[in-house]
Structure 1
Amino acid sequence: MKVCTDACVLGALAPVTAASRILDIGTGTGLLALMAAQRAPQARIEAVELDTAAAAQAAANFTASPWAERLRLHAMPLADFAATQPPAFDHILCNPPFFRNSLRSPNQQRTAARHTAEDTLPFQELAGFAARFLTAAGQLTVLLPPPEMREFELDAAGAGLYPSRRLVLHHRPGSKALRHIITFSRQPGGVQQRELPLHEAASEEYAAWFKEALGPFYLAL
């Protein structure tokens, strides 16, 4: 799977800077874990990835990074990681698979990364894990398209996790929502919402907020 723009926005804007222990669930080749390591210099970051090829790439990327001593990879399913009884996390990040009904790719790795399946990462399992392994004040930040996010919010509420901040990504001002990035916590209450068009109204130029947020990670914008 290629590095996608919305995942980069998740990595750049998730409120992880004060966290001491961070977990990236389904790290792929390590993007979110590496961005968290750059943004939270005091944090220990763990990452879980069940696909062996992706996990090998993530391990290589972690080793080659300036933050190798703070990054740890677990090449296993989330349920197996839960069975190790890890200490609680201050923040959990996840860009989960979400294509439930679209055509499946002939490439099995791509399919596993894109489709929610009972043997990969069901939303209920993700919400339940977060409720179990977040600290009392911990947060979970998830990236999903709007229809799938509505389903995940129900599973999260069932696990005792509630939205506190919603970022809505659009191609341009006024266009339909592409993705929601929601931060969940254990405290029910009001939700802060921010609309974030990726591009200026009539051009391919990235929006000013995007350049500011992604500037520390992109070589050029």
Structure 2
Amino acid sequence: MPNSYFQFKQFRVEQDRCAMKVCTDSCVFGAYVEVGKAQRILDIGTGTGLLALMVAQRSGASIDAVEINAEAQQQAQENFTASPWADRLHLHPMPLQAYAQQQLPKYDVILSNPPFFLSSLKSADAAKNTAKHTGELLFEDILYFAQQRLTQHGKLYLLLPPAEALYFAGLAKASVLYLAEVLQVYTYHGGKCIRHIQTYTYTPVTAPEVKDFFIREADKTTYTSEFRQLLQPYYLYL
């Protein structure tokens, strides 16, 4: 059974009321996105608030976070309030579609670990279905919002399984956003690719730069040096 919280070096994520718990690939995502110069950041589907907290730690940006689930909203707000960056973290308890109807700023960075299972069998757990399956939040909604609300040099970052990442990339071809980079995340050297971290920009590219990232060595136990370097600012024991 997962812990009721996950302790990082500078903040804690309480997660007992959220369907989706802190996981390694989400931590890789939160540590990977470039946010150093960003002034405004949006986290779509914040859940526990993990990604918003991670980017708050290494930026001075004002961060908005959208969440549809009532229990996740409450937990994210509590996590934000308890963090050192409470004054820069702003929760919006509503679906993205409703948020998009408001008078909004432009964002330098939009990031999302969205519901992603397009065709797999659903769980009996309704909250987990909302968190993991496209239904309440469609890929088209994220793409359209990003087209309207990214700054000229802004970036959209997504964390998706490989099949769903390819599907999203196909949708994006009809938009003004271009897939600039793909980080393929593997469980270990010799293991399978579990996630793609995609970077979209307005800058036209003929083909995205594709890189591999391994969480563990071939022994399936030891963290790789690249993982240690990336997560060292966050994980207690790195």
Structure 2 partner of 1:22 = 41
What is the root-mean-square deviation of aligned Cα atoms in Å?
1.1
Equivalent of 1:188 in 178, 194, 204: 204
Q: CA deviation at 1:188?
A: 1.4
Q: Corresponding residue for 1:198? A: 215
- Tell me how far apart the structure 2 counterparts of residues 113 and 59 of structure 1 sit (CA, whole Å): 17
Paired position in structure 2 for 1:155: 171
**In structure 2, how many angstroms separate the alpha carbons of the residues matched to 1:39 and 1:140?**
18
CA deviation vs aligned residue, 1:18-69 (integer Å, no higher than 9, x gap): 11100000000100000010011x2000000010110100000000000000
Matched letter for residue 125 of structure 1 = D
For 2:149 and 2:77, locate their aligned partners in 1 and report how far apart those are by CA, in whole Å.
23
Q: Check if 1:209 corresponds to 2:226.
A: yes
Gap regions ≥5 residues in structure 2: 1-19
Whether the 8 Å contact between 1:128 and 1:156 is mirrored in structure 2 is no
Partners of 1:139 and 1:13 in 2: how far apart? 13
The TM-score, its normalising length taken from structure 1, stands at 0.95
- Partner residue of 1:10 out of 13, 16, 29: 29
Does 21-30 or 194-203 show the bigger shift? 194-203
Name the SS of the counterpart of 2:173 in structure 1.
helix
What SS class does the counterpart of residue 72 from structure 1 fall into?
strand
Show CA shifts across 1:62-92 (max 9, x none). Answer: 0000000001000000011011121100000
Provide runs of 4+ in structure 1 moved above 4 Å.
Answer: none
Partner letter of residue 24 of structure 1? Answer: D
Shift, 1:192, TM fit: 2.3
The match for 1:139 is: 155
Give the corresponding residue for 1:81. Answer: 99
Match of 1:98 among 91, 98, 116: 116
CA separation in 1, counterparts of 2:177 and 2:58? Answer: 24
**Superposed displacement of residue 121, structure 1:** 1.0
Determine which of 81, 87, 92 is the counterpart of 1:63: 81
TM-score by length of 2: 0.89
**Residue type of the alignment partner of 1:207:** T
Q: Distance in 1 between matches of 2:139 and 2:103?
A: 20
1:176 partnered with 2:195:
no
- Judging by fraction of residues, say which structure has more helix: 1
* C-alpha contact (below 8 Å) 1:98/1:115 kept by paired residues: yes
How many residue pairs were aligned?
Answer: 218
Specify every segment of 5 or more residues in structure 1 that has no aligned partner in the other structure, as ranges.
Answer: none
Sequence identity of aligned pairs in percent?
48
Deviations 1:135-188 (A, max 9, x none): 111100000011100110122222211111211001122333111001100111
1:210 Cα deviation after fit: 0.6
